[in-house]
Structure 1
């Protein structure tokens, strides 16, 4: 999976009660494209936003540490545009619910509403489900490929010491790290600037949101927020 360079990333054996499968994104944008992708304020209610509205919501973010370009919304199915929807659940406001079958992430807002984001999810053989929580957060994190990934894709070895933050870093601008029982699971919610991946199974278990959506979710998600990943 993709993970920041910390002691947790050195763990190699699943621990009882943890999400059973390790995961990592096996790619990123342009500069490491050779590796490939194997591995807010809520917007409106009712009908999905128009393309013109989407171009504004997914426009450039110039004042970030690394200025974020606009999303090419022509590459994004409109059903994955961010929107407010009705969502009945017993989970408390603030809870994040991942629906990998339908490629959505929900932030529960209360009163039967949720902010819904389009997402990419784990590909076949790397999907998982269960409850976790946000153990920590990071802005523009370092990415270090796990040794399992390097074994499968030797070309990733050049990043064994960590890939510096930036637009081409697979973790992107923001990352929410998922924990269980006080330990990092090696699963994350991360940001991607590749709209063509939304609505697809492309990773080894991590959940990706468009950078503009992840900025929104990240800003409203404190550490210890509950995360529920539904069965695919």
Structure 2
């Protein structure tokens, strides 16, 4: 994470994710933001829109969505929390209109993958960075993806 200048109009606490630069900004003030490197959706899995933080979980479990399991039959139905869970140490669940989008901002057990185009639409940070971000994010914080 690094502190960078910010000159936009979003209020502090807002998260802005850029698909093109593979970065996540968390707005601190009208002049500063925290910048994190993220992995984003691979070709065909990028998305844009405005959502919000609906839930936060430390050491989440993972149930791959049915569509994901259809694409990769080797995926298990369930992965318990822990070091082998691909969601890593923390997960920030993204919601829209009261419903879980199934997209997450989460950690990873493979930090070398962070910064690439390779997820199924989630935003992947190192465990260290997601633990830092998790402490600062609140439920209902706005998340803008472009």
Which TM-score tier does this pair reach, normalised by the shorter chain? over 0.9
1:183-194 matches, cutoff 5 A: 183-194=99-110
Q: How does 1:17-166 map to 2 (within 5 A)?
A: 82-156=1-75, 159-160=76-77, 162-166=78-82
Structure 1 residues not aligned, in runs of 5+: 1-81
Aligned match of 2:142: 226
CA-atom RMSD, angstroms? 1.0
SS class of match (1:110): coil
Asked whether the equivalents of residues 87 and 109 of structure 2 are also in contact (C-alpha less than 8 Å), the reply is no
Query: How far apart are residue 195 of structure 1 and its match?
Result: 3.0
Cα pair 1:103 1:198 within 8 Å, conserved? no
Which segments of 5 or more consecutive residues in structure 2 lack a partner in the other structure? none
Distance of 2:22 and 2:83 partners within structure 1: 23
Task: Name the TM-score, length of structure 1 as normaliser.
Answer: 0.61
- The residue that corresponds to 1:10 in the other structure is none
1:87: how far off? 1.6
Structure number with greater Rg is 1
Offset at residue 167 of structure 1 (A): 1.1
- Is structure 2 residue 112 aligned with structure 1 residue 196? yes
Give 1 or 2: higher helix fraction. 1
Once the two structures are superposed, residues 58-104 of structure 1 have per-residue CA deviations (whole angstroms, 9 ceiling, x without a partner) of xxxxxxxxxxxxxxxxxxxxxxxx11000211110010110111111
Question: Which range moves more in the overlay, 146-155 or 117-126?
Answer: 146-155
Residues paired across the two proteins, number: 146
| The structure with more strand, counted as a fraction of residues | 2
Whether the 8 Å CA contact 1:133–1:225 is kept in 2: the answer is: yes
